[in-house]
């Protein structure tokens, strides 16, 4: 909380012509041998069949394939708002780059300001300026080969001002989530918000006019009670319906085909059954995620092992279902009154991400700000710990990523 995934034996191989791959070459006679991965039958030719969107753009399919393959050997390191949130507002390069010399492998963004009721899309409007800044960062990240992921701190539908239940009346908390479902009083309001998301995502384009793939993580940390989409305020069926409606509306109604969809509760579960209690189904989820701050909050190796056992549930499910597992948010915030934990990155986090043969595609830390940081910038006490972590065998900053938006040749 912030301030705060049957192994399948597959022994044959696929011989593919280059025409069936995402390639810019025109020589359709070239033959590629694409060996299925050890744990699943995924190949460059069948990747889309395991995805939510069978009509996803070739770059989006490549991202799915490469994230899945990456997780077998490395975990990409990311940060929310990496290019705009700096410890002590230092500015310049990302704090990760200040420390390591390389940018993060994942950039986290948010649709919050983009869909704010005050965004009038005028040049002098602060919220529109944030939209332009966010979309510019996404384009720059894509150009560097960085993975883009979006969360959405969607404000409640009544006053459209806050996403925290602490700011809502009992009646609003009891009815808000139900109201955005089809047939609900605020379904049209919600569709307009999705229209804005669709418009922005459909205009994220690379240098050659191709659509930039993003990971979208709606209604995150739903097992807590701090957001109005939390488990205290909707049934499991209502949550599933809202998630399914969101995907169907963007994919089918709005024709958006450059999204991978992520599902991410907080860390309350300890079994696969509990994890899947609000799962909208394999047809609606590409990325099996978890947000986890609590297990890493001064619980030492015991907390790290708790986190690892939960990540193993994700990893095992992802292996069985040909999905992608990720630690979609985590971190330990260091402030003047909350000192750094010795070897938090290089020992506690790294062991949580790697023990018990788990495959986690990426990990994302929350943003830095004036008063505190999740990622050391190169001039603080745990700088060396993060750099050591970033250089470990199974860690990846952007310089260690394959070409995430191209199928391997």
Residues recognised as catalytic: 221, 329
| Strands, E assignment, 166-219 | 214-217
Residue 210 CB: number of other CB atoms within 10 A? Answer: 16
The encoded tokens of residue 317 equal 């499910």
The encoded tokens of residue 229 equal 């989409």
Q: Indicate the angle between helix axes 170-179 and 236-248, nearest 10 degrees.
A: 50
The encoded tokens of residue 56 equal 């996803």
- Is residue 80 packed enough to be buried (19+ CB in 10 Å), middle (13-18) or exposed (0-12)? buried
| Strands, E assignment, 152-244 | 214-217
Residue whose C-alpha is closest to residue 310's, from 339, 283, 281, 330: 330
Backbone torsion region of residue 255, taken as left when φ is above 0, otherwise alpha when ψ lies between -120 and 50, otherwise beta:
left
C-alpha span between 156 and 167 (Å, rounded): 10
Residue 325 CB: number of other CB atoms within 10 A? Answer: 28
Tell me if residue 300 falls in helix, strand or coil.
helix
Phi first, then psi: give them for residue 109, nearest 5 degrees. -130, 180
Alpha helices in 249-366 (DSSP H): 272-275, 300-321, 350-354
CA 126 to chain centroid: 26
| Strands, E assignment, 293-393 | 324-330, 362-365
The encoded tokens of residue 146 equal 């960085």
Render the burial of 288-322: b for 16+ CB within 10 Å, e for the rest.
bbbbbbebbeeeeeebbbbbbbbbbbbbbbbbebb
The encoded tokens of residue 207 equal 């240098």
């Amino acid at each position: 909380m912030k301030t705060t995934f049957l192994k399948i034996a597959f022994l044959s191989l696929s011989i593919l012509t280059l025409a069936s791959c995402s390639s810019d070459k025109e020589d359709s006679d070239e033959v590629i041998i694409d060996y299925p991965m050890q744990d699943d039958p995924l190949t460059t030719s069948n990747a889309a069949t395991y995805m939510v969107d069978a009509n996803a753009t070739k770059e989006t399919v490549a991202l799915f394939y490469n994230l899945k393959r990456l997780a077998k050997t490395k975990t990409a390191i990311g940060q929310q708002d990496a290019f705009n949130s700096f410890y002590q507002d230092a500015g310049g390069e990302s704090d990760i780059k200040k420390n390591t010399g390389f940018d993060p492998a994942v950039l986290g963004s948010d649709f919050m300001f983009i869909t704010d009721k005050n965004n009038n899309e005028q040049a002098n409007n602060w919220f529109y300026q944030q939209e332009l800044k966010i979309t510019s960062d996404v384009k720059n990240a894509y150009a560097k080969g960085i993975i883009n992921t979006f969360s959405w701190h969607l404000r409640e539908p009544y006053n459209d001002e806050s996403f925290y239940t602490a700011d809502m009346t009992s009646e609003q908390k009891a009815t808000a989530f139900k109201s955005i479902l089809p047939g609900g009083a605020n379904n049209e309001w919600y569709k307009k918000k999705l229209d804005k998301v669709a418009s922005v995502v459909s205009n994220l384009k690379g240098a050659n006019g191709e659509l930039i793939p993003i990971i979208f993580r709606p209604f995150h940390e739903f097992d807590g009670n701090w957001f109005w989409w939390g488990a205290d305020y909707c049934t499991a069926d209502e949550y599933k319906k809202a998630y399914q409606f969101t995907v169907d509306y963007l994919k089918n109604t709005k024709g958006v085909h450059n999204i991978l969809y992520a599902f991410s509760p907080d860390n309350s579960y300890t079994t696969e059954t509990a994890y899947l209690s609000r799962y909208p189904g394999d047809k609606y989820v590409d990325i099996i995620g978890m947000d986890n701050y609590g297990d890493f909050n001064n619980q030492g190796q015991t907390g790290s092992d708790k986190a690892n056992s939960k990540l193993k549930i994700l990893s095992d499910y992802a292996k069985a279902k040909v999905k992608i597992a990720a630690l979609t948010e985590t971190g330990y915030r260091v402030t003047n009154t909350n000192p750094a934990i010795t070897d938090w990155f290089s020992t506690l986090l790294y062991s949580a991400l790697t023990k018990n043969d788990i495959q986690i595609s990426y990990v994302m830390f929350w943003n830095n700000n004036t008063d505190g940081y999740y990622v050391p910038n190169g001039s603080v006490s745990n700088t060396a710990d993060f750099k050591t972590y970033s250089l470990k065998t199974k860690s990846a900053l952007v310089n260690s990523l394959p070409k995430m938006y191209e199928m391997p040749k």
